[in-house]
Amino acid sequence: MPTDPKTRPLGDLERLVMEQLWAAERALTVREVHARLSGTRELAYTTVMTVLDRLAKKRLTERERDGKAWRYQAAAPREGMAADLMRDALDRAGDRREALVRFVDQVSDEEAALLREALSRLETPDR
């Protein structure tokens, strides 16, 4: 599976930046996000700016002008986004269904019994 070596570290940063925004009670400037992240790792100010900009383009953050600077906040609380994600992951309807390919769908109790029966035959060594 190809993963782009250039975007991977940035992708990781996106998550860390979102965590800062979720944890904050108010909208943060780039400088504030940079300060909060610098405690744990060496990071360029411009990198944080780029990441916040990318997050805004993905509509994961919202920003507003505050004097000369932008203030960023998460577009929704973490729980809200997680709920959106789960709803989408479990959605089996519509013509965009093949967007994600699930390992297995959950089955009814009767069918689970059939599955267990089939598995026990498979586990019996003399077959």
Partner 1 sequence: MITPVLLAALALVLSGPAPALLGRSGWPYRVPRAAVTLWQALALAAVLAALGAGTALSYSAAGQPQAPRFDPSAPGDLAAAGVLALTALVGIRLLWAAGRVAVGTRARRKRHRDLVDVLATPDGLVPGLRVLAEQTPLAYCLPALRGSRVVVSVGALERLDDGELRAVLAHEQAHLRARHDLVLEAFTMLHTAFPRWVRSEVALEQARTLVELLADDEARRRGGPRPLARALLALAGSPAPEAGLAAATSATVLRIQRLADPEPRYPWLSAATYASAAALLVLPTVTVAAPILKAVAEAVS
User: With left for phi above 0 and alpha for psi between -120 and 50, is residue 5 left, alpha or beta?
Assistant: alpha
Q: How far is the CB of 14 from partner 1 (least distance, A)?
A: 6
- Residue 86 is encoded by which pair of tokens? 């789960």
d(CA 110, CA 17): 46
Q: Which residue, 69 or 112, has its beta carbon nearer to partner 1?
A: 112
Q: Which residue, 66 or 88, has its beta carbon nearer to partner 1?
A: 88
Q: Of 3-11, 26-34, 40-48, 63-71, which segment contacts partner 1 by CB under 8 A? A: 3-11
Q: According to CB under 8 A, which residues from 31 to 90 bind partner 1?
A: 55, 58, 60, 78, 81-82, 84-86, 88-90
Angle at 100 between CA 118 and CA 5, to 5 degrees: 120
Q: How many angstroms separate the Cα of 43 from the Cα of each of 8, 113, 118, 122?
A: 15, 54, 54, 54
Q: How many residues bind partner 1 (CB under 8 A)?
A: 49
By CB under 8 A, is residue 7 in contact with partner 1?
yes
Which candidate, 34, 43, 41, places its Cα nearest to that of 70? 34
Q: How far is the CB of 101 from partner 1 (least distance, A)?
A: 5
Phi, psi for residue 24 in degrees, rounded to 5: -75, 150
Residues that bind partner 1 (CB under 8 A): 1-4, 7, 11-12, 14-15, 18, 55, 58, 60, 78, 81-82, 84-86, 88-90, 95-112, 114-116, 118-119, 121-123, 127
